[in-house]
Amino acid sequence: MRHTDWEQLEEPVRLAIEARTGRVRAARTVSAGLNSQLATVLDTDAGTVFVKGLRVDHPGVVRQGREAMINPFVRTVAPRLLWHDRAAGWDVLAFEYVDGVRHADYRPGSPDLPRVIDAMHRLAAIGCPDLPVKQARQRWGAYVDREADLELLDGNALLHTDFNPLNILLGLDRVWMIDWAWPTRGAAFIDAGCFLIRAMAAGHNASQAESLACMCPGWQQPPTPLLTSSLSPVPGSTTRSPVTTLSRSSRVWQPPHIDGHATASGRT
């Protein structure tokens, strides 16, 4: 999605944001990320903030609403939401700015991998709050071959589900998970599966990726019937086609201990 620079925003939008932040002294558009029309770091009289937004008629506004809803519950693993507002035709979120961070490196041998897995354990300790988040069977039920297996997607874990390395920020002593557009309630193994596929896309073979997954919450005893049906279409995506690299990775990976279950690896 093409980003709008601060200077390109209509004046009423800039004034509405400055009413919240104080005078903006400098602005820098953030190039990473695909889901925001506005993504900018603002240096203001009150400090530095990260602001993201969409025009109110954009269908992605509902995702921003989910992100605002879940933020108070995930602040041990995510930057704090400062405010959420609608003004001058825009839906805008402002977050505390996290300085000195970089995106995660999932390549084999990366020292980032154990740090990301540690953050996943911190997330697992939160549990899913009583909020109207998506249910795992809503998102992936269509990929399950047997109706009787749908209940295996159920659980009370709070799932991030999108472990794109652009969504993981690493500082010197902290790991942050950002872009909470799809908070989901479900079985704990699902996030491990999301991470497994991303690891393969970064260069891990199937055995290496599953070794990483075994260190993640919920993967120690994942339900065998679902591993070839619900994970093959790439967890972390919805029914829309994933990018080619992820799709290829999800087809290549198949747990060696699975026997006698038809796969859905042809689905994307």
Burial zone of 102 (CB within 10 Å; 0-12 exposed, 13-18 middle, 19+ buried): exposed
Of 39, 68, 96, the domain-final residue: 96
Average pLDDT on 170-177 reads 96
Bridge partners of residue 1, in order along the sequence: none
Q: Which two tokens stand for residue 245?
A: 């690299």
What span, in angstroms and rounded, lies between the C-alpha atoms of 151 and 129? 20
pLDDT in tens, 9-21: 999 999 999 999 9
Which residue, 96, 126, 150, sits at the end of a domain?
96
Distance CA 258, CA 133 (A): 31
Q: What is the mean pLDDT of residues 158-164?
A: 97
Single out the residue of 139, 156, 181 nearest to residue 34, CA to CA.
181
Of the spans 87-96, 227-236, 246-255, which averages the highest pLDDT? 87-96
Q: Who has greater pLDDT, 110 or 246?
A: 110
Q: Based on the fold, state whether residues 234 and 126 are members of the same structural domain.
A: yes
Do the bridges between strand 168-170 and strand 90-96 make them parallel or antiparallel, or are there none, so unpaired?
A: unpaired
Angle at Cα 94 formed by Cα 93 and Cα 99, nearest 5°? 135
- Per DSSP, 145 falls in state S
Q: What is the pLDDT of residue 70?
A: 98
Q: 259 in a domain, yes or no?
A: no
Nearest of 70, 249, 84, 92 to residue 177 by alpha carbon:
70
Higher per-residue confidence, 105 vs 235? 105
57 belongs to a structural domain: yes
Residue 14, exposed/middle/buried by CB under 10 A (0-12, 13-18, 19+)? middle
pLDDT of residue 223: 65
- Please, which residues bridge with residue 107 across strands? none
Residues 54 and 149 reside in one and the same domain: no
Q: Which domain holds residue 127?
A: 102-252
Q: What pLDDT is attached to residue 259?
A: 34
> Is there a domain that residue 1 lies in?
no
pLDDT of residue 121: 97
Of 150 and 80, the one with more pLDDT: 80
Q: How confident is the model at residue 225 (pLDDT cuts 50, 70, 90)?
A: low
pLDDT at 84: 98
Answer with the one of 58, 73, 96 that is the final residue of a domain.
96
Of 155, 246, 232, the C-alpha closest to 200 is 246
- CATH number of the domain within which 72 lies: 3.30.200.20
Q: What's the DSSP call for residue 125? A: T
Whole-number pLDDT of residue 2: 80
Determine how many CB atoms are found less than 10 A away from the CB of residue 191: 28
Q: What span, in angstroms and rounded, lies between the C-alpha atoms of 229 and 267?
A: 9
Say if residue 111 is in the same domain as residue 90: no
What's the confidence (pLDDT) of residue 228? 52
Residue 160 CB neighbours (<10 A): 27
Residues 17 and 40 in one domain: yes
Domain count, the chain: 2
Contacts of 191 (CB under 8 A, 6+ apart): 120, 123, 124, 157, 159, 160, 161, 163, 216, 217, 218
| 33 and 11 together in one domain | yes
263 inside domain: no
- Give the model's confidence band at 149: pLDDT under 50 very low, under 70 low, under 90 confident, else very high: confident
Quick one: 88 and 122 in the same domain? no
Whether residue 116 lies inside any domain: the answer is: yes
